[in-house]
């Protein structure tokens, strides 16, 4: 009596009860399909977010003001980032390809009757290179625009579509807080990062912004302030040294000792990326855990049906024993039956899960990613579930005494 | 061959005890054909189960071919069941949705007989019971008599030394019942196998060489049949009808 014969016996028993076998498998099929589909959706989301964040600009470092608690019992305060900080960083920090100061504020933007609230970005020419934008039409903000405080504006692709609904925006006038600006350029689309859209921007010269749009809010004790400063490091290896140089310059400019908390956040894109990756990774694991519960429930379903099956086939087991089947052979038959059910269920579940992932991709909501490790993991987990939940019913069947089993009604 | 020495079998039914066999002493020699008779609940089936190693005595010793059975391990008992004993039950006990040939092959499968030999032996056994043309029929496509023949083929496929039949004709009409006892007589004559045959029917019992009667777990009579009836002998009442016409 070898394993092959045993597998054959189990297959015959399963084939003899197709409906019951099918229903038993259903639990595993649904569980595995859920694991595969949800994990694929999670992985897909991670990949798309990661690739979009990477597309924001490589080696990007951003400086923003951060709220810190200076004294115990006093509410956290923020220290403004000054235009002079930008000038000091631009002068002293090395290994930088570009540096871009920006000031952002909300404003009413209108073209004719079409108006809505937008975030206005005051920027210098370096903005386009540092943030990795390319111009689709026209030109970007120039030094001349800044020094002349020209009323010109460059629109993101989404903004252009929203405001002009199909018209060519080039050379047309829009109003920002009631002041006329001429559209001189439209940016190429970069796609959404999932958190904020890089295509919904309205960019004006920084100097124009200070004099006409931002008003008193952009001043602190008579000094010009900034929302953020973006730097592009010369290469990935110098990102960390650039960050420490920037921090040094900021401490010097704001007269802070090394013991005091720096009231600014100086962070690189790779840090943001690792944060995002860990968040999406946690979400994926969470989805997987929920799906894992359904797989576990499927396993209990298998055990349930196998126990019923042992009951129902008590006479059959008695007969098999009466004609010479050993305990171990009966044990193996039932274990092989459950493992077969869970493995076949696992394979069908993987196919179903991959199909669901494919359908989700087709809907365009998210590009799912069915990875091999998820498939292997589900497959082995299904086998394990079969083994784990199959042992008890198999043991019950094997322990039946032949004479009692034969008398069972 | 078969030797019972003060064998008692007690079953527990919840709180109460049922004495199925009460201090039985019995000897059946190799090659005998024996009928066991008795009312229901008299312990016939328990006696058969112990002879067939499906169960073991509560007290006393049962020796099969001189060997005390209670000393055998679970696996050794399984081997005895597969090689030495062929069992035929009242309720046929064929695997449903499985054809006749595969049902007959079952004991060979558990005895480790391989491939071609297994199929050949099973076909030969089906030929002996006259069902060679039905080997690919499933139990639900066969009549009661045919199903019992398949069960008999399964019992004799491994060439056991003992054939045990526990009311094999209990679910069959008298005509088919007589065919079945005829088949057992033929097997007994041709192979010299020991046959133990449980029946309610005194006429069927008279086809064997010895009749043991059980009541309440005790043997109340053990008689030798001087002239066993031959297969095909008409029943007395039928013979009477025949005479009166």
Mean pLDDT of B231-237: 82
Q: Which residues of A touch B13 (CB under 8 A)?
A: none
Alpha helices in A190-268 (DSSP H): 206-208, 239-253
pLDDT of B107-126, one tens digit each? 998 888 888 999 999 999 99
- Least CB-CB distance to A324: which of B81, B95, B97? B81
Inter-chain CB proximity B107 and A324 less than 8 Å: yes
Chosen for mutation from B92, B109, B147 (greatest number of chain A CBs closer than 10 Å) is: B109
- The distance of A15 to chain B (nearest Cα, Å) reads 9
* Alpha-carbon distances of A7 from A105, B113, B122, rounded to whole Å: 72, 16, 21
**CB of A409 less than 8 A from some CB of B:** no
- The distance of A385 to chain B (nearest Cα, Å) reads 28
Burial of B36 (0-12, 13-18, 19+ CB in 10 A): buried
**C-alpha count within 13 angstroms, C-beta hemisphere, residue A366:** 21
Inter-chain CB proximity A319 and B55 less than 8 Å: no
Inter-chain CB proximity B49 and A403 less than 8 Å: yes
As for the ipTM of the complex, it is 0.89
- Least CB-CB distance to B106: which of A17, A323, A327? A323
- Least CB-CB distance to A323: which of B96, B98, B154? B154
Chosen for mutation from B95, B96, B99, B117 (greatest number of chain A CBs closer than 10 Å) is: B95
Chosen for mutation from A9, A17, A318, A403 (greatest number of chain B CBs closer than 10 Å) is: A403
Nearest to A338 by CA among A79, A119, A3, A11: A11
Using DSSP's 3-state secondary structure scheme, residue A218 falls into helix
Inter-chain CB proximity A321 and B78 less than 8 Å: yes
- Least CB-CB distance to B82: which of A323, A327, A328? A323
Is residue B244 very low, low, confident or very high in pLDDT (cuts 50, 70, 90)? Answer: very low
- Least CB-CB distance to B110: which of A16, A323, A401? A323
Inter-chain CB proximity B81 and A322 less than 8 Å: yes
d(CA B133, CA A197): 79
Inter-chain CB proximity A326 and B89 less than 8 Å: no
CB pairs under 8 A between A and B: 65
Inter-chain CB proximity A403 and B54 less than 8 Å: yes
Token pair for B68: 């005390």
Inter-chain CB proximity A323 and B89 less than 8 Å: no
**CB of B93 less than 8 A from some CB of A:** yes
Q: Which residue of B has its CA nearest to A14?
A: B97
pLDDT of B167-180, one tens digit each? 998 888 888 888 89
pLDDT of B176-223, one tens digit each? 888 899 999 999 999 999 999 999 888 999 999 999 999 999 999 999
Instruction: Provide the whole-model pTM.
Output: 0.67
Nearest to A160 by CA among A146, A149, A151, A171: A171
Would you state the pLDDT for residue B238? Answer: 65
Question: In which element (H, E) is residue A78 found?
Answer: strand A77-78
Choice between B155 and A383, residue whose per-residue pLDDT is larger: B155
Chosen for mutation from A319, A320, A327 (greatest number of chain B CBs closer than 10 Å) is: A319
Q: What is the 3-state secondary structure (H, E, C) of chain B?
A: CEEEEEEEEEEEECCEEEEEEEEEEEEECCCCEEEEECCCCCCHHHHHHHHCCCCCCCEEEEEECCEEHHHCCHHHHHHHHHHCEEEECCCCCCCCCCCHHHHHHHHHHHCCCCHHHHHHHHHHHHHHCCCHHHCCCCHHHCCHHHHHHHHHHHHHCCCCCEEEEECCCCCCCHHHHHHHHHHHHHHHHHHCCEEEEECCCHHHHCCCCEEEEEECCEEEEEEECCCCCCCCCCCHHHHHHHHHC
Token pair for B57: 């005595």
Number of Cβ within 10 Å of residue B62's Cβ equals 22
- The distance of B13 to chain A (nearest Cα, Å) reads 12
* Alpha-carbon distances of A52 from A192, A194, A195, rounded to whole Å: 7, 8, 10
- The distance of B77 to chain A (nearest Cα, Å) reads 8
Give percent of chain B above pLDDT 70. Answer: 97
Q: Which residues of A touch B52 (CB under 8 A)?
A: 322
Choice between B235 and A122, residue whose per-residue pLDDT is larger: A122
Mean pLDDT of B63-75: 89
Inter-chain CB proximity B107 and A406 less than 8 Å: no
Torsion of CA A384, A390, A392, A395, to 10 degrees: -120
Q: Which residue of B has its CA nearest to A324?
A: B82
Mean pLDDT of B149-160: 93
Which stretches of chain A score pLDDT less than 70?
1-2, 54-58, 69-74, 191-197
Query: Residues of A numbered 312-331 whose beta carbons fall under 8 angstroms of chain B's beta carbons: which are they?
Result: 315-316, 318-329
| DSSP class of A238 | G
Inter-chain CB proximity B109 and A5 less than 8 Å: yes
Mean pLDDT of B139-144: 93
Inter-chain CB proximity B93 and A9 less than 8 Å: no
d(CA A265, CA A293): 41
Inter-chain CB proximity A320 and B75 less than 8 Å: no
**CB of B184 less than 8 A from some CB of A:** no
Sign of CA dihedral A270, A271, A274, A279: negative
- Least CB-CB distance to B98: which of A5, A16, A327? A16
Nearest to A81 by CA among A185, A180, A229, A210: A229
Would you state the pLDDT for residue B245? Answer: 40
């Amino acid at each position: 009596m070898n394993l092959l014969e045993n597998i054959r016996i189990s297959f015959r028993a399963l084939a003899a009860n197709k409906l019951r076998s099918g229903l038993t498998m259903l639990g595993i099929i649904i569980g595995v399909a859920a694991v595969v589909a949800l994990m694929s959706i999670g992985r897909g989301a991670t990949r798309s977010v990661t690739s979009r964040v990477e597309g924001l600009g490589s080696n990007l470092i951003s400086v923003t003001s951060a709220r810190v608690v200076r004294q115990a019992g006093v509410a956290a305060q923020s220290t403004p980032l000054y235009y002079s900080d930008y000038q000091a960083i631009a002068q002293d920090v090395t290994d930088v390809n570009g540096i871009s100061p920006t000031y952002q504020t909300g404003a009413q933007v209108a073209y004719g009757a079409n108006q809505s609230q937008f975030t206005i970005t005051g920027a210098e020419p370096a903005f386009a290179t540092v943030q990795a934008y390319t111009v689709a039409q026209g030109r970007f903000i120039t030094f001349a625009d800044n020094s002349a405080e020209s009323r010109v504006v460059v629109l993101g692709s989404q903004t252009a579509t929203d405001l002009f609904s199909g018209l060519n925006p080039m050379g047309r006038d829009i109003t920002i807080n009631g002041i006329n600006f001429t559209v001189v350029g439209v940016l190429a689309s970069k796609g959404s990062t999932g958190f904020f859209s890089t295509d919904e921007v309205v960019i004006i010269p920084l100097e124009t912004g200070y004099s006409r749009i931002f008003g008193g809010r952009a001043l602190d004790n008579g000094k010009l302030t900034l929302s953020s400063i973006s730097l592009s490091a010369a290469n990935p290896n110098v990102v960390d040294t650039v960050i420490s140089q920037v921090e040094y310059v900021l401490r010097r400019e704001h007269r802070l000792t090394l013991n005091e908390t720096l009231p600014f956040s100086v962070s690189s894109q790779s840090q943001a990326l690792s944060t995002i990756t860990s968040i999406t990774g946690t979400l994926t694991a969470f989805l997987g855990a929920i799906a894992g519960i359904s797989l576990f429930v499927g396993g209990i379903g298998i055990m349930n049906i196998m126990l019923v099956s042992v009951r129902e086939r008590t006479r059959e087991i008695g007969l098999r024993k009466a004609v010479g089947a050993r305990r171990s052979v009966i044990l193996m038959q039932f274990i092989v039956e459950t493992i077969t059910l869970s493995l076949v269920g696992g394979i069908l579940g993987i196919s179903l899960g991959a199909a669901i992932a494919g359908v989700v991709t087709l809907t365009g909501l998210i590009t799912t990613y069915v990875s091999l490790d998820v498939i292997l993991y589900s497959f082995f987990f299904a086998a394990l579930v079969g083994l784990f939940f199959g042992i008890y019913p198999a043991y019950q069947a094997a322990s039946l005494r032949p004479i009692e089993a034969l008398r069972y009604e | 061959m078969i030797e019972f020495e003060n064998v008692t079998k007690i079953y527990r039914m919840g709180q109460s005890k049922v004495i199925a066999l009460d201090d039985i002493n019995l000897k059946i020699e190799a090659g005998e054909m024996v009928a066991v008779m008795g009312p229901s609940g008299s312990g016939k089936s328990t006696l058969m189960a112990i002879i067939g190693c499906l169960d073991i005595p509560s007290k006393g010793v049962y020796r099969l071919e001189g060997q005390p059975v209670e000393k055998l391990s679970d696996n050794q008992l399984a081997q005895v069941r597969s090689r030495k004993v062929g069992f035929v039950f009242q309720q046929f006990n064929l695997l449903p949705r499985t054809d006749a040939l595969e049902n007959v092959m079952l004991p060979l499968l558990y005895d480790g007989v391989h491939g071609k030999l297994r199929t050949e032996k099973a076909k030969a056994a089906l030929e002996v019971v006259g069902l060679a043309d039905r080997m690919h029929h499933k139990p639900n496509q066969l009549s009661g008599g045919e199903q019992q023949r398949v069960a008999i083929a399964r019992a004799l496929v491994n060439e056991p030394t003992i054939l045990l039949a526990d009311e094999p004709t209990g679910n069959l009409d008298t005509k088919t019942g007589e065919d079945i006892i005829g088949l057992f007589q033929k097997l007994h004559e041709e192979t010299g196998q020991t046959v133990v045959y449980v029946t309610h029917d005194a006429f069927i019992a008279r086809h064997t060489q010895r009749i043991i009667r059980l009541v309440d777990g005790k043997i109340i009579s053990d008689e030798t049949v001087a002239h066993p009836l031959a297969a095909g002998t008409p029943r007395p009442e039928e013979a009477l009808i025949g005479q009166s016409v």
